[in-house]
Structure formats: C-alpha cells, structure tokens
Amino acid sequence: MKYWRLIFGIIFLALSGYGQKSVFYRDVTVAPLSASDKTKYSTEAVFFLPDGANGFKLFDSLSRERGITELMRQGSQVKAFFNAASGEKLQLRLFSETVKHDTAVQESGVLHMVEKYNGTPIASVKAFESAWREGTFSGGGFEKRVYSGWNPYGSNYNSLHRYTGFIKIEKPGAYYFYTASTDASFLLIDSQVVAAWPGRHGVNEGLYGQHGGSINLTSGVHRFEYLHANNQWSCYAIAAYRLPGKEKFQVIPETLFTPSLEAESGSLHNRDGKAVADFFWDNEDMLEVDKLQMFRVKFSPASGCKVAGWNYGDGSGEQKSVNVHYYFRTGQYPVTMRTEAGNAKQTVAVTWRFRQNLISERDVAKYVAEALNKRKPLEFSRRATVFWRRRFCSSN
C-alpha cells in the first residue's frame, strides 16, 4: 500500500508542477492609479506564450506566488486576471508543461463571463444557475458597466452572460434598480433579486423602468450581479438605477463600480535573465463581404528585436520587417519571426471577430487593396479575387 501512495504522490507532484523550473519569464507592470493607494484591485493582462511554453505562474516582488485566473486562450495569446496594487511590479514565469497555479478571486471591477447553452427559456435565477452549470465556456473580460449590445465572445444566439462586480454606495437610502434586455435578465444586490425580467422578449418593453424593484442600501460596498440569457440574433443587456428621491433613471455609471486595472506584459527573458526574440500580435480587424472574409493581423516585435523576416504559417512570408499580414481563413497558424539573434515562434489564432471595430469605407478599400496587391489570396477562386478587386480597388 505504501508503494501505491508513493506512486500517487509522485504523479500529484508532477501534475502540480512541483520542482519544475521556468523556461522563460515576463515582467508585468500594473497601470498606476494612485501612488498612495495600496488597495489590491482585480487587474486584467494579456500576454503571449512562446513556442515551448504551455504553463505559467505569477509571483510578486518577494517571489511569493500570486493567484491568476485564465479568462481566454487563443493560440499563444492568453487573457487573465489577478489582484494587485496600483503600479505594482510582478513576474510571470513560463513553463514548458502545463502547471497547476493558484487562482485569483475577483475583488473589484465588472467581470463579464459568457457561456453557450441549449437555449431553454430561463424563468428564474435558479434556472439560470442550472443552465450555467451545464453550459460551455466561451470567454470573459472586464467591462466598465453593464450596457451591452453584443456578445464579444461568440454568437448572440443561446448565450449566457454573467456580470459580477461591486457598487459603492455613499448615501444610504432606497435605491431603485431595473433591467432592460433581450430575453431573460436578473439583477441582484448582495445576492437578493431586485429586478427580474424572465422569459423570451425584446428589449423595447423594458427601456423605461418597467422591470425593476427597490432595495434599501447602507453606505459602503455591495456585491452586484447581473444574469442574462439571450436567445436571439440581437443581444442587449442594460442595468440602470434611480437615486433616492430622484425621478430620473440612468444606466449605472462606471463610477459607481469599484474599478479594475490593466497590466502591461513585458518582453520575454530566459531563466538567466537574457532577453530573447519575441513578438506580440493582434487580430485587429475582420472584413466580410458576400461571405468572403479577410483578417488583418498586426505583429509587434519586442523592443530591441531587429526583424529579418517572417514566416506567417500560411505558405507565405516576408524578407523584410513588415508588421501587418492578411489571412483569408480562420485557423491556428505557426508564425516565425526571424532576427539576427535568433527566431521567435508562436501560434497565431485567426478567429472570427464578434466585437468589431467600426471601419470606414475608405479604410476597407485601403485594406483590401493592400492585401490583394501584396499577394494573390490562393484560398479564393479567380472569380472571388476579381470581385474583391472590382468592388474595392477600382479607385486605387
């Protein structure tokens, strides 16, 4: 029996990452809010895992592990949050294998988590929680407030949205909260349902405070939750309130919520502290015309990297320092940046953009012309390529 215990102990230590040494690290700097403020806030960061790194842990300046919770992972790009003070400096250590790390519990900000589910009409908070347990996670991130007209992490159809945060009440009294949404929504303060609009419906019938309720609040910080189940092509979620003694409604402003912070992830170093070749990327824009897609991905070499060329993982490359590339299909692309000091490799995830930027017609024409003049998109038929040229390039 003792041998079995020893074997299970070894397996546990291996899975937890005990004894493993990090292969790389990144310095992480939290955005300054106030030099005198030592409060720990929930802080969102985006960082990249280079080829050869699959796990990570976060440490403070005294090498004590700090909890970090992963919100999304797309290729080598990871979005996560942790709790840190304004201006604090930490270190993200990267490991070759997936390692077990401490997770963070939200302490501030408005965290928006999204899942997909089977689309059953939601009639109560209990039904929402049941659907959430059975749902499939789509993604998450911090918002300024609950005032949304889309699902940033996937299709609007049959999506579950959970907003959690903390509101600051300065003046005690009776506050009226209401919800306006496409399909079911519930607004809770300190775990108490204050506003509810269950079932399937449009948003218009709730824009004037018809679905709400009053709650007496003391001065201080109170927990806020907003649960939304959306079942149609549009997706609206609005949390509003009315101050004691006032008649005018307003969307709950971001100033009422405790703030979240953002952190900047630094360049890549090996375990000996030497800077190595590194780059960042962003699936910046997506264009779709008559079912044809084009994705504009921007690459940013780390400071000090002298780029000699790129291999974009789609059969094309550049022999010069170009930082924009166009893809015509979604997928996972192994991208290599060549430098005099060595190569940097990452997996770039080209995915459908549900949260679109507003792109002017002029920029659309510019992007399409740039892409088609750069190289012929082999993924398109000759007819499709001609269509793009005639539609957008005739005046260029």
Domain 277-392 CATH (choose: 2.40.50, 1.10.3210, 1.10.10, 2.60.40)? 2.60.40
pLDDT at 82 > cutoff 70:
yes
| Percent over 70 (pLDDT), the chain | 87
CB 99 within 8 A of CB 45: no
Report residue 16: phi and psi, to 5°. -85, -5
Exposed / middle / buried, residue 19 (Cβ in 10 Å: 0-12, 13-18, 19+): exposed
pLDDT per position as a tens digit, 167-192: 999 999 999 999 999 999 999 999 99
The pLDDT score that the predictor gives to residue 102 is: 95
For the chain, how many residues are written? Answer: 396
Of 294-298, 327-331, 364-368, which range is least confident?
Answer: 364-368
DSSP 200-245: S--SGGGTTS-SEEEEEE-SEEEEEEEEEEE-SS---EEEEEE-TT
> CA 49 from chain center: how many Å?
16
The pLDDT score that the predictor gives to residue 94 is: 97
The pLDDT score that the predictor gives to residue 341 is: 81
According to DSSP, residue 15 is labeled H
Pairwise pLDDT comparison (389 vs 238), residue with the higher score:
238
Q: Which two tokens stand for residue 276?
A: 């190595």
Taking residue 128's Cβ as centre, other Cβ atoms within 10 Å add up to 23
Pairwise pLDDT comparison (286 vs 362), residue with the higher score:
286
CB 37 within 8 A of CB 85: yes
**Which residue, 312, 356, 348, 357, is CA-closest to 330?**
348
CB 50 within 8 A of CB 34: no
pLDDT at 9 > cutoff 50:
no
356 Cβ contact list (under 8 Å, min separation 6): 285, 286
Mean pLDDT of 15-37: 80
List Cα–Cα distances, 87 to 42, 103, 203, 231, in angstroms.
13, 21, 41, 41
The pLDDT score that the predictor gives to residue 107 is: 97
Taking residue 348's Cβ as centre, other Cβ atoms within 10 Å add up to 26
pLDDT at 357 > cutoff 70:
no
pLDDT at 324 > cutoff 50:
yes
Taking residue 221's Cβ as centre, other Cβ atoms within 10 Å add up to 12
Whose structure tokens read 């689309």? 119
Dihedral angle computed from the Cα positions of residues 359, 361, 366 and 367, in that order, rounded to the nearest 10 degrees: 40
How many helices (H) and strands (E) would you count in the chain?
Answer: 4, 26
Fold match, 2-104 / 277-392:
yes
Rounded CA-CA distance 242/238 in Å is: 14
User: Which class does domain 110-256 fall in?
Assistant: mainly beta
The pLDDT score that the predictor gives to residue 3 is: 55
pLDDT at 308 > cutoff 70:
yes
Break the chain into its structural domains and give their ranges: 2-104, 110-256, 277-392
pLDDT at 375 > cutoff 70:
no
Of 75-89, 286-300, 337-351, which range is least confident?
Answer: 286-300
The pLDDT score that the predictor gives to residue 268 is: 96
Rounded CA-CA distance 244/172 in Å is: 8
Rounded CA-CA distance 46/64 in Å is: 21
CB 241 within 8 A of CB 232: no
CB 150 within 8 A of CB 228: no
Rounded CA-CA distance 296/377 in Å is: 13
pLDDT per position as a tens digit, 239-281: 999 999 888 899 999 999 999 999 999 999 999 999 999 999 9
pLDDT at 229 > cutoff 50:
yes
The pLDDT score that the predictor gives to residue 377 is: 52
Mean pLDDT of 32-41: 85
CB 95 within 8 A of CB 60: no
pLDDT per position as a tens digit, 126-146: 999 999 999 999 999 999 999
Report residue 193: phi and psi, to 5°. -70, 120
pLDDT at 89 > cutoff 90:
yes
Q: Which two tokens stand for residue 191?
A: 């775990």
The pLDDT score that the predictor gives to residue 16 is: 45
Please give the CATH architecture assigned to the domain spanning 2-104: Sandwich (2.60)
Rounded CA-CA distance 303/288 in Å is: 33
Rounded CA-CA distance 303/99 in Å is: 29
The pLDDT score that the predictor gives to residue 105 is: 97
